[in-house]
Structure 1
Amino acid sequence: MTWLPLLGILIVVVGFMLKLNPMLVVTAAAIATGLLAGMDLVQVISTFGKAFNDNRIIAIVWIVLPVIGLLERFGLQQRAATLIRGMASATAGRLLILYLLYRQLTAAIGLHSTAGHPQTVRPLVAPMALAAAEKQHGTLAEDSQERVKAYAAATDNVGVFFGEDIFFAIGSIVLIQQTLAAYGYQLAPLQLAIWAVPTAIAAFLIHGARLLLLDRRLARSSLPRSDEAAPRTEDLR
């Protein structure tokens, strides 16, 4: 066995450390892995084409992206932010908790494509969370704005990751089942899905607590500093 094809993993690690374009890094790693495994360039490209053809659902993104672009062009983010500003009790944390619940429930019944980073987080969830935070705490500093955006993206990740395993007809459940079967543990996919429920509940409670702490952190960061709260002596003269 040759270990040279594993250098593709090193390319991925180094590329991400250098913060290069993820698509370019992964593509370069895949090509390098194929070449180091003894394939010629034509075989590598052919393998890419076959994988893409076998997973034609990937092409749906080329339909979704123009639709999202048109919606944003005609003010989708602004309308979402205006809607949130009209809700008196809305906060960034509470809004994201509702989205987390929605994401977990829909993922648990196999509806993964009803939401996601390009479909909902960027055009809707993140602007709504920012509007809720600014409604409560005023204009946010740039680092606070980026933190709210990051929590919006993380909420989507947590919701779908821990919710999808409840849906027994998914690849991750099959992978777990086959791995356990290799060690002599014969379990049905439904059994694995049932045992994923406590994990999903724990993930909801833990991340929900983090979202509530986000509200408190934003409140603290919006308070005036002690050197700004009191007027300076020269200002009183």
Structure 2
Amino acid sequence: MGTLDGKKGLVVGIANDASIAWGCARALRAHGAELAVTYLNDKAKGYVQPLADALDAPLCMKLDVTQPAEQDALFAAIAARWGRLDFVLHSIAFAPKADLQGRVVDCSAAGFAQAMDVSCHSLMRLAKAAEPLMQGGGSILTMSYYGAEKVVTHYNLMGPVKAALEASMRYLAAELGERGIRVNALSAGPVATRAASGLAHFDKLMEEAASRAPLHQLVTLEQIGEMAAFLVSDNARQVSGQTIYVDAGYNVKG
């Protein structure tokens, strides 16, 4: 018996087989969950569809979180297929390259607004859409990073954006708790994903993380996925409003 047997979940953010969302989806499926997954656009579908097939996902649908009609179609399909939803994994972030790689003080208003919309407000929109399908309670999990708490060199604009994401998570947890819906953030150590490659000097960031972490190693997609599976399971039914670190202890070094 898996800890997620019978659970129905939505995974948003798989781009390819190096995505954190993919590592989480594999663990969620291995623990017994049935999954719906999304892809960003037609180009991404070529990478995501084979992964969805490997998960035996009954739903694999296009979702650009800036397009309300696509979100509406997704949740209508989930309602028609399952009639309920037990958990949502939100693992998406974006900032224009010029704003991401420059100083925070120099970032454009448009770039800041876009980064906040895609990376942060999208969590609120997904939570609002999921709430009616979580009549018996549920779990919402988003992905953060240590740069939300402390200044990490070269993390730049994503630091304030992830800080806003974590604050939003706490407010959502407070508001949705009366419905039995838990909301948490998983703060993973650096992983070589396509999104992370947009950060300047990312290789140096990873080297520093491995050298400073008490366990002196980087985390893997599998390890992140196992924590995600725990957090959306009933074993974590009293955990809400928390940022949980999976970073080999890096965050305790200050």
TM-score range (shorter-chain normalised) is under 0.3
The structure with the larger Rg is: 1
- Structure 1-normalised TM-score? 0.25
Structure with bigger helix share is: 1
- Structure number with the higher strand fraction is 2
TM-score (norm. length: structure 2): 0.24
